[in-house]
Amino acid sequence: MAAPLVRNAFLMSTNRLAKPALIAASHAHKGLLQNAVAAQMRCCVCGIKTGPAESEENSSQAEQSPWTLMSAVCMVRRPLIMAELSDVERRYKAHLEQLHLETSVLSDHELQLIEEKVKLKQRRSRGYDDDDEDGSLLLAADKEDLAADKFQEFQPADRLTEADMKNDRSSQLRKLGVPLYLLVKQKLGDKAVWVMPQGSRQEGETLRQTAERILLTCCGTHLRTTFYGNAPCGFYKYKYPRTMRSENNVGAKVFFFKAELTGGDIECDSEGVEEFAWVTPEEMKEYLPQKYLDSVLPFATCL
Amino acid sequence: MLKAIFCRGLAQPSSARLCKKCWGEQVLPEVALVQSRGLRSREGALPQAGRRFRLPQYTKVEVEPVYPEGTIHEELLVSMKAYDMCSVEHYLQFLHRLAKKWNIKVLESYALPTRKIDIRHLETASRLKTFSEATLSLHERVLKLKNVTSTQVPLLLEVLRSHQPVGLTLAVKEPTEDDEMVRFKKNKELEELLETQSQIRR
């Protein structure tokens, strides 16, 4: 991949994320069109070949960039229950309920209740002479009692799970009302670092295919995911430590892809992955270094 | 692909100032300003101003956007189902407004007929007799979007999933013929005729 391709094809900054049209433009081979090289270019983001038809001379012109292309996966576990209401929301909800109650009209059931109350009073005043002349099989009051009993039987589950009590960060069922992101302790070089699962791109792969492959290798085959799309959501560039640097290998450029967890558990393979954690954006500060966190937080937020 | 120049209102063509609609790029949304023939004089300018006295004239032209192959979904179908009509309707409106904001064209926005689901319980003393516990109505709303780029899709999905109401099932897919045929009622007479026709042929 030629260096100009990587530099121009994906221009990311925090405010540009808010305008999808801009990103569309920047991805849409703007760099390629402007650079107008006679060689056939292959976009590493979507795998599309653009430019004139392949010829043997041109393929040998491809420059080797000193940056390794990597893709990382930002795996989200979407909230399983409704988020907790804020103070304003709670008060407004109570206010609305009261308002709806006061402005509503009596339902059939409530009308029946009232009628029956009146009838019972009359019967008591007369003194139990008639025996259920037009008595319905089930009085409205009885229906209410039955319903109340059934409601008592139903026990909704707790908002706080076992994992919350133990503060077990490796469990998916942690904070059910909030989206959780996956962080993995991976071996990059010789050190084990807390990152989002990442790996380098191989020949002939699109970045999204790389991301899918990395997820399988890092987290096992039992995990069921849905990738949100072909376009990356974030970018991070880092240089290798001076001892590992060379002419052809200055550092790595990581493109983040967003994926959603639809089911299954992580199988921790010892191949590079030691531990994993499901964390909220606030807790990420404890794991990730500052610069990495700065590139991750723009897309790993709770909307 | 026409090259858009700049918005009306600027006195001088400047490479630093880009049209808000198209940002001066070649792959564009639908409107471009093209230099047409003729020159008009700038408001309040005197002939002594020289080159700046007369400015090129621009007309708005409808351009069909051209996207590189594989980076666009021509039609995207978003269907939402829930038992609560209020939440489905409001979610549909939310999505429609979002599409409007992001300049995504909405081809169609329709509702599928409500499905009544009867929940029946076996009566305690019998094996066959059932009584109806409750009747739920499943509401479904569908929105069809046009020309959603592959960079907009993940953002759209993110926003939709974050703001999905409780109890609502969301499905985002490319529309097929089945999705179209679901909207129509079965024509029994037509089906019978077709059957008799096929039998005759055999």
CB contact under 8 A, B25 and A25: yes
Between A74 and A249, name the one with better pLDDT: A74
Question: Own/partner pairs for B180-188, CB < 8 Å, 24+ apart?
Answer: B182/B112, B183/B110, B183/B112
pLDDT digits (tens, 9 = 90+) for A35-65: 444 444 444 444 455 455 544 444 444 567 8
| pLDDT(A296) > 60 | yes
pLDDT of residue B25: 39
Selected for mutation to probe chain B from A16, A73, A76, A230 (highest B CB count within 10 Å) is A230
What are the backbone dihedrals phi and psi of residue A123, each rounded to the nearest 5 degrees, phi first? Answer: -65, -40
How many helices, marked H, and strands, marked E, lie in chain A?
10, 10
Is residue A174 a contact partner of residue A161, using CB atoms and an 8 Å limit?
Answer: yes
Say whether A4 sits in a helix, a strand or coil.
helix
Q: Band of the pLDDT at A273, cuts 50, 70, 90?
A: confident
The token duo for A124 is: 């008591």
pLDDT of residue B23: 44
Per cent of chain B over pLDDT 70 is 69
The interface residues of chain A toward chain B in range 134-173, judged by CB-CB distance below 8 A, are: none
Instruction: Tell me the CB-side half-sphere exposure of residue A29, using CA atoms within 13 A.
Output: 22
pLDDT of residue A97: 96
The interface residues of chain B toward chain A in range 14-73, judged by CB-CB distance below 8 A, are: 23, 25-27, 29, 67-71
Q: What is the dihedral of CA B41, B45, B47, B51, to 10 degrees?
A: -70
pLDDT of residue B40: 64
pLDDT of residue B88: 97
Q: Is A260 within 8 Å of chain B by CB?
A: yes
Task: Identify which of B153, B13, B136 has the alpha carbon closest to the alpha carbon of residue B71.
Answer: B153
Q: Band of the pLDDT at A128, cuts 50, 70, 90?
A: low
Question: How many residues does the structure list for chain A?
Answer: 303
Mean pLDDT of chain A: 79
pLDDT digits (tens, 9 = 90+) for A212-250: 999 998 888 888 999 998 899 999 999 988 888 887 888
Nearest CA in chain B to A82: B166
| pLDDT(A66) > 50 | yes
CB contact under 8 A, A303 and B29: no
Considering only CB atoms, B155 lies closest to which of A20, A43, A78, namely A20
Task: Identify which of A67, A17, A35, A12 has the alpha carbon closest to the alpha carbon of residue A299.
Answer: A17
Give kind and range of the element (H or E) at residue A6: helix A3-9
CB contact under 8 A, A46 and B71: yes
| pLDDT(B101) > 80 | yes
Nearest CA in chain A to B162: A303
Instruction: Tell me the CB-side half-sphere exposure of residue B114, using CA atoms within 13 A.
Output: 14
Give kind and range of the element (H or E) at residue B62: strand B54-62
Q: How far apart are CA B107 and CA B75, in angstroms?
A: 8
Considering only CB atoms, B151 lies closest to which of A27, A43, A48, namely A27
Q: What is the DSSP-derived secondary structure letter of residue A32?
A: H
Tell me the C-alpha to C-alpha distance, in Å, between residue B51 and each of B9, B37, B44, B143.
Answer: 18, 17, 14, 52
Mean pLDDT of chain B: 79
B161 to chain A: which residues are within 8 Å by CB? Answer: 78, 260
B82 to chain A: which residues are within 8 Å by CB? Answer: none
pLDDT, average across residues B188-193: 91
ipTM: 0.72
pLDDT of residue A133: 56
Per cent of chain A over pLDDT 90 is 42
Q: How far apart are CA A99 and CA A83, in angstroms?
A: 24
Q: Is B157 within 8 Å of chain A by CB?
A: yes
Q: Is A24 within 8 Å of chain B by CB?
A: yes
pLDDT of residue B30: 61
Q: How far apart are CA A70 and CA A254, in angstroms?
A: 5
Considering only CB atoms, B25 lies closest to which of A30, A43, A303, namely A30
pLDDT digits (tens, 9 = 90+) for A154-176: 998 888 888 888 888 888 898 99
Q: Encode A86-146 in three state secondary structure.
A: CHHHHHHHHHHHHHHHHHCCCCHHHHHHHHHHHHHHHHHHHCCCCCCCCCCCCCHHHHHHH
Please list the residues that pair with B28 across neighbouring strands. none
Q: Band of the pLDDT at A209, cuts 50, 70, 90?
A: very high
A78 to chain B: which residues are within 8 Å by CB? Answer: 161
- A·B CB contacts under 8 A: 75
The angle that helices B152-162 and B85-101 make with each other, rounded to 10 degrees, is 150
| pLDDT(A254) > 90 | yes
Q: Is A233 within 8 Å of chain B by CB?
A: yes
pLDDT of residue B68: 75
pLDDT of residue A161: 87
pLDDT of residue B129: 79
pTM comes to 0.72
pLDDT, average across residues B166-186: 92
B102 to chain A: which residues are within 8 Å by CB? Answer: 20-21
Q: Is A42 within 8 Å of chain B by CB?
A: no
pLDDT, average across residues A25-42: 43
pLDDT, average across residues A207-211: 92
pLDDT digits (tens, 9 = 90+) for B46-86: 777 666 666 666 667 776 667 777 788 989 999 999 999 99
Q: How far apart are CA B42 and CA A183, in angstroms?
A: 60
Q: What is the dihedral of CA A30, A32, A34, A39, to 10 degrees?
A: -170
pLDDT of residue B85: 95
What are the backbone dihedrals phi and psi of residue B62, each rounded to the nearest 5 degrees, phi first? Answer: -80, 125
Q: How far is CA A182 from the centre of its chain?
A: 10
> How many other CB atoms are there within 10 angstroms of residue B183's CB atom?
12
CB contact under 8 A, B159 and A29: no
A230 to chain B: which residues are within 8 Å by CB? Answer: 71, 150, 153
pLDDT of residue B71: 83
Considering only CB atoms, B69 lies closest to which of A48, A179, A228, namely A48
